[in-house]
Amino acid sequence: MNPSIRTALIAAGLILGGAVLLRLWAHTQPLASQAEITQRGINVLIALMVILNANTAAKQIRAMPRCDPALEQAARRFTSFALVIGGALYALAWLIAPLNWAFPLSITALGGATVAGVVRCLTLWSRRPA
């Protein structure tokens, strides 16, 4: 089997398995906190997927003939770093913040990282050699 397909299937299995385990564990908790545990757990899983993907994004090398290699590398590294940090803050928000604060904090963290990445790419694009 193609290694990338195998990796994708393993990742999908881990997400689904994690969600099922989380659901089962939540059922052992008091009824009032079940929904909160599930919501927090699912969002932490989402954050972990963002972190894992962003971590390896800088490793995905594809020659882009129309891009300056130095600028392309800088953009890729910055975006990866920003998304890993954004993903970590997203997870942290869902782990420790009060539930009504977790959503705005996590969206601000990940959204901020995405915007920072886009701005950095545009800045580098404007500096490309003619």
Partner 1 sequence: MNAVFRALSDPTRRKVLELLRQRPMSAGELSSHFAVAKPTMSAHLAVLREADLVAADKAGKQVIYRLKMSVLEEALLSFAQALDLGLDRSPSKPPAPEPASS
- Of 75, 78, 101, the C-alpha closest to 90 is 101
Q: CB 52 → partner 1: shortest distance, Å?
A: 10
Select 42 or 74, whichever has its Cβ closest to partner 1.
74
15-41 exposure pattern, b = at least 16 Cβ within 10 A, e = fewer: eeebeeebeeebeeeeeeeeeebbebb
Number of residues that bind partner 1 (CB under 8 A): 14
By CB under 8 A, what part of segment 101-120 binds partner 1? none
Select from 13, 69, 104, 111 the one that contacts partner 1 (CB under 8 A): 69
Give residue for tokens 């694009």. 125
By CB under 8 A, what part of segment 47-66 binds partner 1? 54-56, 58-59, 61, 63
**Three-state SS at 13:** helix
Select 41 or 87, whichever has its Cβ closest to partner 1.
87
